Amino acid sequence: MSRVAEFIFRRRGRSGWHWTDVFTWVWLIGGLFIMFGPAVWLVGSSFKSPAALAEFPPTIMPYVTQKATVEGYDKPLDLYEVTMPDGSKTVLAEVRRIGIVSQMVSPDKPTEIVKVKIAERTPVRTMSFATSNYSEPFTHFDFVRYLWNSVFVTVTATLITLIVNSMAAFALSKYEFRGRTFAMLLILATLMVPLSVIMVPLYSIVSALGLFNNLWGVILPTVATPTGVFILRQYMLTIPDELIDAARMDKASEWQIYWRIILPLTAPALAVLAIFSVVWRWNDFLWPLIVLSRKELYTLQVGLSIYSGELNVQWHFILAMTVVTMIPVVLVFIFLQRFITTGIAGTGLK
């Protein structure tokens, strides 16, 4: 046991706890709570009923007050555990509350009303997961449509990004032509032109092309990403030119060389770009917010933000939809994190 502890809390130097060791563990454990806590709280809250969400102080787990149907009453009544004057405890159902006095009936004897001070009763609660928070948006709202729009935008934009940028990277890495450096510089220079700078004229161009309120208006402006060309070109430069020369001898067309030789060899870099592209396009917000004004075209991000900005926010649905929106990215995080972290460390590009 002590050897395990020694391994876990490996310290600087040989003896005693240096202050940096204490600080390290305080920082790490604190970080664990601050980084994961909010997301865990979100997921936990998303299973609570609207009544439980309005409670303060909130409970960690989702609870609901038990109800019982009592003869003579239309609606199910809330059950409470009541301390009777003689000190015994019974379970009664509340009919109505007037000030600090509650009128209650026993489920067994529905006719006899008992008056109880509200301080002397506690609700009977059981843990219950409000899965209707998830199922209802899927059936009653446009949620499925938003989901579909987001999936369509993400998949289409990623496919086009891969094809268009790999073609450009191929031209820029394997051909000698006049203006090659200029084209490369031009592409890199656009890193300086973020969306927030050109959104007004871009909006007019997209409108002029008839792409306003059209998912293609969301997709097309994003697909020619300088980052993509940059990553792919760097990778293609490492592919030996002899392979291409040999293929040309065998009468392969340039298209075949691109498609049959270059693309398969660039697969690792394409995978990195595909992962990035999926995360980018899934998370895009400002541009879809500008281009899409019709409800049925909203992506998940736009739909979520619009619904959450409404006057009476239905938090139970918002929370559940937020969790669903998180899922693809969390999956990417769990399974593909390695690719992303090496991609960032290698290029410094997000």
Partner 1 sequence: MKADVPKGTGSSLGEAAMAPVRLAMAAIDAPLRWVQRRLGIGGMATFFLLPNMLIFGVFVLLPFFINFAYSMTGGTALFLPDRSFVGGEQYARLFDCANYTDPNSCAEDTFWTAVGNTAWFVLLQVSLMILFSLITALILNRELMARSFWRAVFFFPVLLSPVVVGLIWKWILQRQGLLNFGLYGLGFDPYTWLNDRNWSFAATVGVSIWAHMGFYTLILLAGLQAIPKDLYEAAEMDGTRPARAFWRITLPLLMPNLLVVIVLVLIRAVQIFDEVYVLTGGGPGTSTLYITQYIYETGFATQLRNPGLAAAASILMGAVLVVLTLVQLGLGRKGEKKGARK
Residues 6+ apart with CB under 8 A from 61: 44, 127
22, 101, 127, 197: residue in contact with partner 1 (rule CB under 8 A): 197
Cα three-residue angle 312-316-321, rounded to 5 degrees: 105
Nearest distance in Å: CB 199, partner 1: 7
Interface segment toward partner 1; rule CB under 8 A; list 83-91, 123-131, 134-142, 340-348: 340-348
Position 1 contacts partner 1 (CB under 8 A) = no
Position 271 contacts partner 1 (CB under 8 A) = no
Nearest distance in Å: CB 138, partner 1: 18
Positions 280 through 299 that interact with partner 1 (CB under 8 A): 282-283, 285-286, 290
Instruction: State which residue, 144 or 286, has the beta carbon closest to partner 1.
Output: 286
Q: Which residue has the tokens 């009977």?
A: 124
Which residues on adjacent β-strands are paired with residue 68? 77
158, 301, 316, 317: residue in contact with partner 1 (rule CB under 8 A): 301
Position 249 contacts partner 1 (CB under 8 A) = no
Position 16 contacts partner 1 (CB under 8 A) = no
In our burial notation (b when 16+ CB lie closer than 10 A, e otherwise), range 251-285 reads ebeeeebbeebbbebbeebbebbbbbbbbbbbebe
Dihedral (Cα; 260, 266, 272, 277), 10-degree rounding: -50
Tokens standing for 141? 């709202």
Nearest distance in Å: CB 131, partner 1: 19
Alpha helices, H only, 175-260: 180-189, 195-208, 215-223, 226-236, 241-249, 254-256
Interface segment toward partner 1; rule CB under 8 A; list 61-69, 90-98, 127-135, 180-188: 180-188
Instruction: State which residue, 98 or 200, has the beta carbon closest to partner 1.
Output: 200
Closest by alpha carbon to 298, among 145, 137, 136? Answer: 145
Positions 47 through 86 that interact with partner 1 (CB under 8 A): 53-58
69, 90, 122, 341: residue in contact with partner 1 (rule CB under 8 A): 341
66, 156, 214, 305: residue in contact with partner 1 (rule CB under 8 A): 305
Using CA atoms, how far apart are residues 288 and 150, in angstroms rounded to an integer?
10
Binding-residue total with partner 1 (CB under 8 A): 113
Burial of 29 (0-12, 13-18, 19+ CB in 10 A): exposed
Q: CA quadruple 74, 80, 81, 83: dihedral positive or negative?
A: negative
142, 220, 247, 339: residue in contact with partner 1 (rule CB under 8 A): 220
Using CA atoms, how far apart are residues 234 and 68, in angstroms rounded to an integer?
68
Positions 111 through 170 that interact with partner 1 (CB under 8 A): 163-165, 167-168, 170
Using CA atoms, how far apart are residues 328 and 41, in angstroms rounded to an integer?
19
Nearest distance in Å: CB 234, partner 1: 7
Position 17 contacts partner 1 (CB under 8 A) = no
17, 36, 138, 335: residue in contact with partner 1 (rule CB under 8 A): 36
Position 182 contacts partner 1 (CB under 8 A) = no
Instruction: State which residue, 106 or 145, has the beta carbon closest to partner 1.
Output: 145
Contact 218, 287 (CB under 8 A): yes
Nearest distance in Å: CB 198, partner 1: 4
Instruction: State which residue, 102 or 154, has the beta carbon closest to partner 1.
Output: 154
Instruction: State which residue, 113 or 198, has the beta carbon closest to partner 1.
Output: 198
Using CA atoms, how far apart are residues 108 and 265, in angstroms rounded to an integer?
76
191, 210, 245, 335: residue in contact with partner 1 (rule CB under 8 A): 191
Dihedral (Cα; 78, 81, 85, 88), 10-degree rounding: 140
The 3 state secondary structure assigned to 136-165 is: HHHHHCCHHHHHHHHHHHHHHHHHHHHHHH
Interface segment toward partner 1; rule CB under 8 A; list 40-48, 77-85, 94-102, 111-119: 40-48
